[in-house]
Each structure stands twice: as C-alpha cells, then as structure tokens.
Amino acid sequence: MTLQTDLQDAVTRVESDSQILHNIIHGNDQTTVNTENGNVKTPAKAIKDIEDTIQAGLTDIGAVGQQLNQAIDQAETYAQDAQVHA
C-alpha cells in the first residue's frame, strides 16, 4: 500500500462512519442503526424506550393503588359489619 491508497482508504472509512453516526444522531424514536458491532439505538429511541418503561411502571403502580383502595374499602365494610353484629 502506498501513502495515497492509505489516505484514500481512511477517507472512505471516515465517510462511511460519518454517515452511520449521522443516522444514529438524527434517527427517529423507532430507529436502530446497524454498525459493525451490532445495532445501536438512536438517542430518540433510547429516550422513548425509557419513557415507555417509566409509564408502564406508573400504570402498574396505579393499578396496585386501586387494588389497595378496594381492599381498604372491603376491610372497612367488614369492620362495620362486625361492629353491627357484635
């Protein structure tokens, strides 16, 4: 290899890598970009995935809260019934 071919190869790699990096940075919230080491999420996708995980957790917490309220209401009803029948 000559210095000229080394330089041309380097420029070709930089151009290719630059396009991959551009796709990663500017991709939407549903995009993963294929790289030599596997798929990479775009920042928008990574953030959306985190937000979705948090929202799912909040939904689960809300459901547990409703179940707890129902259990408390039922316990209060049983306590009142027990006082009436005591």
Give the total number of structural domains in the chain: 1
Q: What pLDDT score does 84 carry?
A: 85
Q: What pLDDT score does 86 carry?
A: 74
Q: What pLDDT score does 39 carry?
A: 98
Q: What pLDDT score does 8 carry?
A: 95
Q: What pLDDT score does 71 carry?
A: 94
Q: H helices within the chain, ranges in order?
A: 3-26, 43-84
Q: What pLDDT score does 63 carry?
A: 86
**Domain residues for 44?**
3-84
Residue 29, CA atoms < 13 Å, CB-side half-sphere: 7
| Predicted structure pTM score | 0.67
Residue ranges, the chain, pLDDT below 70: none
Q: What pLDDT score does 72 carry?
A: 94
Q: Extract the tokens encoding 28.
A: 């939407």
- Position of tokens 């009436």? 84
